[in-house]
Chains A and B, each alone.
Chain A
C-alpha cells in the first residue's frame, strides 16, 4: 500500500498560446487520505489544473509540493484518470487495466494477476477477456477507475469519472466509489460538474471561478461517514449543496474584479 502524502498546489499559473491565462494563481491543499471535490464553470480550467497537478504540463509559475518537497512535473505520486475512459480496443479489459503496471516494468503475468484481483470488487468479474466495446458505460468507467487504482499511488486524480453516465447508473457508481474509497485508503481529488455528487462524496468541495480561474470558495462537508444514499435528503446535506451552488452562481454572474476576489467572502484560500 502506497504511503499517504500531503499535497499542496502553490499559486499555480498556466496559460496556452491563444487562450491567455487559464489558471490564475490556483492554490489548494489535499490532506493525507482526504477526498476533495473540484467544481467550476465548464471551460474554466479544471482539466488543465489536473494536468499541472499530475505533472503532465509545466506551470508558467507556481509549484506542486508533495510532503513539503517540490514535485512540480512529477507524475509518480499521482494516479490520473482522464476525462475520457481511454480503454484501448486492441487490449482486452484485463490487459487495459494492467497497462499501467506493465508500463511500470511489472511483468505481464504479475500485472494481470494484480489487476485481475480487483475485478471482483470493481464489479467486473467475468469480463476479463472481453473487449472494451462490449462493456456498458458504467462498466467502462469502473474499468478505467480500476486501471487507476491498481497503480497503487497515493493520490487519485479523477476527472469527471461519471460524467458520461445516466443519472441512475451515476448514483450507483457514487455509492460504489464511496465504498472503494473506504477500502483503498488514498487521497482523492475529483473534478465533477454534479454538485450533489461533490457534496455526497467529498470531505471538502473547492469552487473554481470562471477562466482565468482560481479557487473562489471552499465548503467543508462535515457529514458523517459512511454516507448512505438517503443522506441527500437531510437538511444538513441540502444546506451544504445550496452553499456550493450559491458560490458557483455568484462566480458565474459577470466578470469578477480582482478587488472583489481579494475581498472575497473569506472562502478563497
Chain B
C-alpha cells in the first residue's frame, strides 16, 4: 500500500486487521471455534474409560482408551511403518483423482455434450458399492498400489468433479456479459472469471474428498495389501488385539483430521481473498 492519502471526500474505511496482535486473535478465535468439539471428545473418552473400569468388561472385548493409548504407544514402530504406506496411497490416489476431476470438469465446462454425457456417469460412480468393487480390484490388479489408487479415485472423484463443474457453471451471467463486452474469448472468460470464481467451491469439495480418500485407502488395504493401516487392522482383529485395532483407528482419524486441516492452510494460501469464517 502506498502512503499517498486518498484524495476523495469519503473517509478511508477502517483497515480490516487493525489490532496489533492479529496472531493472538486468530489463535483465540480458532480455539473458540474448536472447543465444543474438543470438550465433546474428552467427555466421550471419559465416559468410555469409566464404563470399562466400572463394568470390568474384558479388555479383549472392549479395551479402555488408556489401554489403547498405552498399547498403541508400545507398538508405535509398527503403527508408523503401516501409516506411511497408507498416507502414500491416499496422496497418490487422491492426486490422481484430482487430476482427472479437473481435466473432465474443464472439458465439461467448455463442451456442453461432454457435460451432459458425464453427469449421469458421475452419479453412477457414487452408487457403485465399494464393498463389492474393492475385492474385485484386488483380483484384477493384485496387491500393489494400483487397485488402492483406483478405489480412492472412485470414491473421491465425484464430489470434486461435481464441485468444479457446478462452480464453473455458477458464474453470474452479468459477469460473463461484462467479459464478453470487453471482447473476451471463451478461454479468457474461463481463466479470468469462471476458474477463480469456482475455487471456493473446489476447496469445499476438496475437504469432503480428502476424508473419503483416507477411508477409501484403509478399506482397500483391509481387503488385501502387504502393508498399511487397513491390513494392520485386519491382522490385529484376527489376533483379537482390539486395542491395537482401535489404536490404528485412532491413527486413521488423526491422519484424516490433519489432511482436512491442511486443506484450510492451502485454501488460505491459494485464495486469500475468499471470505470465510
| Residues of A in contact with B (beta carbons under 8 Å apart) | 51, 54-56, 75-76, 78-80, 82-84, 86, 88-90, 99-100, 102-104, 120, 123-131, 133-136, 138-139, 151, 169, 172
Contact = CB atoms under 8 A, between A and B. Distances in A.
Interface stretch (B31-39, B82-90, B100-108, B269-277): B269-277
A103 B182 contact: yes
B174 A131 contact: no
B184 interface: yes
B70 interface: no
Contacts of A135: 13
A50 to B, nearest CB: 9
Q: Interface extent on B, as a size class?
A: 20 to 34
Contact of B16 (A54, A80, A83, A134): A134
B4 interface: yes
A86 B172 contact: yes
A56 B178 CA distance: 9
Contacts of B179: 103
Contacts, number: 87
A76 B180 CA distance: 10
A131 B8 contact: no
Nearest to A57: B177
SS class of chain B's interface: helix, strand, loop or mixed? loop
B181 A90 contact: no
A59 to B, nearest CB: 16
16 contacts: A54-B181, A56-B177, A80-B177, A84-B172, A84-B174, A86-B178, A88-B196, A89-B273, A89-B274, A90-B271, A124-B6, A126-B3, A129-B1, A131-B273, A133-B275, A151-B182
Interface string B215-239: 0000000000000000000000000
Contacts of A83: 174
Contact of B183 (A84, A103, A127, A169): A103
Interface in B129-179: 172, 174-175, 177-179
Given A89-B273, A126-B3, A172-B9, 18 more contacts: A51-B177, A54-B181, A75-B180, A75-B182, A76-B183, A83-B174, A84-B172, A86-B174, A88-B175, A88-B192, A88-B193, A88-B196, A88-B197, A90-B273, A103-B179, A123-B7, A123-B8, A126-B5
